Amino acid sequence: MRDLGAGFGYLLKGQRWVVRHGRRFGFGLLPGLITLVLYAAALVALAVWGEDAVTWATPFADGWASPWQGLFRGFLTAVLFALGLLLAVLTFTAVTLLLGQPFYENLSERVDADVSPDGAAARSDLPLWRELWVSARDSLRVLVRAGVWGVLLFALGFLPFVGQTVVPVIGFLVTGFFLTEELAAVAMQRRGVDLRARLTLLRSRKTLVWGFGTPLGLAFLVPFVAVFLMPGAVAGATLLARDLLGEESAAGGATAPGAPGGRPGTEDVTR
């Protein structure tokens, strides 16, 4: 429970940070707005033509008597839209981060410098095109993992009672985990922490990750909210990444054993 509260606290701290730095908040809205328009169009198309797609995919139900045919296909249509919505939430962050890579990278650096005792921030030695490639490659790998979870949860959704109660809860926890990974990657990639190491760190503090990512995933379901929360989410994920890596904070954060300066702490998880 303590880690859940700490994770949510980082989300709030990130939002407060961007509010205090209004200019950076304003620039950070544009990538989210572009992504929102694209995703809204895709979801509208799924809502309009989803029933036709389900009908085409279930020819075996053509001869079923009423009301079973309508109930069966209506249920599949609702599940298909829910799956599309879940994938939209999972991929929204990755696409927005790619579109706004230079801004969010700079924002994360400024947060690091703001909270570091010496006012310094880790910087990547990679050129921009290489950073974009690494980010896109890692995002694709994460989306494959998230897609596997999505298919599994889709199948479990057919189970009576469990599919309507337990499965949605698991879905939001999975969404929160992968959302946090995508957001924390901005800060961790600058420190040379690769995808496997990031996942290891996140799994070691699941309740912290869920406390940060699950409320954010729920908020992202509300139209336009994701756009306004995105800059603060990057800022909060940078603070959370510092916690996971055991880096000291100007406000008096703890340092993990064997990681006196923060970056050496990444050695254990990147081997």
Per-residue 3-state assignment (H helix, E strand, C coil) for 168-194:
HHHHHHHHHHHHHHHHHHHHHHHCCCC
User: Mean of the pLDDT values across residues 9-15?
Assistant: 93
**Cα–Cα nearest to 184, from 235, 258, 109, 222:** 235
User: What residues contact residue 33 under an 8 Å CB cut-off, 6+ apart?
Assistant: 227
pLDDT digits (tens, 9 = 90+) for 178-216: 889 989 998 898 888 888 899 999 999 999 999 999 999
pLDDT at res. 120: 66
The residue to which tokens 């929204």 are assigned: 92
Residue 170 resides in a domain: yes
How far apart CA 105 and CA 176 sit, in angstroms, is 21
Residue 13 resides in a domain: yes
First to last CA, the chain: 30
Residue 61 resides in a domain: yes
For residues 123 and 190, the model is more confident at 190
User: Mean of the pLDDT values across residues 9-23?
Assistant: 88
Count the neighbouring beta carbons within 10 Å of the beta carbon of residue 15.
18
Count the neighbouring beta carbons within 10 Å of the beta carbon of residue 258.
10
Count the neighbouring beta carbons within 10 Å of the beta carbon of residue 247.
27
Share of the chain above pLDDT 90, in %: 18
- Per-residue confidence band for 129, with pLDDT thresholds at 50, 70 and 90: low
**Domain carrying residue 98:** 2-266
User: Mean of the pLDDT values across residues 124-139?
Assistant: 69
The residue to which tokens 């205090």 are assigned: 20
Which residue type, as a one-letter code, is found at position 225? Answer: V
Number of structural domains the chain divides into: 1
Q: Is the pTM of this model over 0.75?
A: no
- The sign of the dihedral angle between the CA atoms of 206, 220, 18, 95 is positive
pLDDT at res. 223: 64
Residue 271 resides in a domain: no
How far apart CA 79 and CA 163 sit, in angstroms, is 10
Residue 168 resides in a domain: yes
pLDDT at res. 5: 87
Residue 132 resides in a domain: yes
Residue 76 resides in a domain: yes
Residue 10 resides in a domain: yes
